[in-house]
Amino acid sequence: MGSFGGRCGRGEVRARSLSALACALTVLGVACGGQSSHADSTSAGGSASGGVTTEVAGAESSGGGGGSAGPIPIPPEGGSASGGASSGGDTSVPEAAGAGGAGDVDLGLGAGDLTVLVVFDKSGSMGDHWDERSKWQVANEAFMKAIVDVLDNLTIGTIFFPVPANCDVDVLSAPTQMGFMSGRRFYENWLDTAETRGPNGGTPLELALRTADAAIQEARELGLLNARFRVVVVTDGEPSCNDNRDVITALPAAWHELGVETVVMGLPGSATALKLLDDIAAAGGTEKAQSLADPSQLDHGLYDAVR
């Protein structure tokens, strides 16, 4: 068990109705004719709207830095990276989302009881150096190392910001983001698309969290909030896109009322934003942000956050 709290011991929770299937198809980008919680957002490929200011203000400068170093080997299904069997019996993906009886819907999610939504900063300053690599490379590598031993147990989604650039953030269903899927599919998709991402633009943290809010509403319709659900924010600096700080802290507080924890990782460069990051973490039920000076601290923080 990780070092975070949350609701445990409720077993597998998965969507079991046709309405849940409709919501699932919406998340996967399949038109289903019904309204989704993104009704006030743009279609896939667009940016979340809902009256959110996205004017560029003090955007960070573009930086370098490419994808992560060599990929970590993907362990066999139900096993660990070292090839040993994982504890707790069979956790293979095919039964992950629909185990239990007739009428279940297989959404291709993880077999465990934890869903993680990562809000991942890719602003220009993430291209700055940290331990002989860029912060972007360090964070990518740390995240892949954190999840590789628990791929079959996790359901994961990621909101990158900004996307496509400056102060924009695409909705979760856009091809530039990564919607909820099993850890194994997520890992493979991350590696397959790594070359399409790199640091650029500003830090639209408010819009990123608004986009996360819409994603959490979809997850709620899927039944994912009936088990453990955690938001992990990884960022290296102050919001720079006319962000409303009251909104930034109000959203994690509202999620916490639904049982969602918010974990905040402050990379080098975030010292001036530490008060805000602490407020986000406190509102989200994890007391304070993790201010990280060394890449090994990020390794440990992400390891705990996905367990």
Segment 119-167, tens digit of pLDDT: 999 999 999 999 999 999 999 999 999 999 999 999 999 999 999 989 9
Whether the Cβ atoms of residue 212 and residue 247 lie closer than 8 Å to each other: no
Residue 304 CA, chain-centre distance (Å), reads 14
Q: Domains in the chain, please, with CATH? A: 18-39+98-305 (3.40.50.410)
3-state helix, strand, coil in the chain (%, to 5): 35, 15, 50
Q: Which of 5, 3, 1 is nearest to 229 (CA)?
A: 5
pTM: 0.70
**What pLDDT shows up at residue 75?**
60
- DSSP result, 94-127: GGTTTTTSTT-------SSSEEEEEEEE--GGGG
**What is the chain's pLDDT, residue by residue, as a tens digit (307 residues)?**
444 544 443 334 333 333 433 433 333 343 333 333 333 333 334 444 443 333 333 334 334 444 444 555 666 665 444 333 333 333 333 333 322 222 333 457 888 999 999 999 999 999 999 999 999 999 999 999 999 999 999 999 999 999 998 999 999 999 999 999 999 999 999 999 999 999 999 999 999 999 999 999 999 999 999 999 999 999 999 999 999 999 999 999 999 999 999 999 999 999 999 999 999 999 999 999 999 999 999 999 999 999 9
Taking each helix axis from N to C end, the angle separating 135-147 and 183-193, rounded to the nearest 10 degrees, works out to 150
Q: For residue 174, give Cα distances in angstroms to 38, 85, 135, 157, 207.
A: 12, 35, 25, 12, 15
**What pLDDT shows up at residue 109?**
87
Considering just the CA atoms, what is the radius of gyration of the chain in Å?
18
Whether the Cβ atoms of residue 162 and residue 168 lie closer than 8 Å to each other: yes
3-class secondary-structure state, position 222: helix
Cis peptide, bond prior to residue 162, ω within 30 of zero? yes
Cα(265)–Cα(245) distance, integer angstroms: 17
Q: Are strands 129-130 and 154-161 parallel, antiparallel or unpaired?
A: unpaired
Q: Which of 2, 154, 145 is nearest to 82 (CA)?
A: 145
Cα(283)–Cα(33) distance, integer angstroms: 36
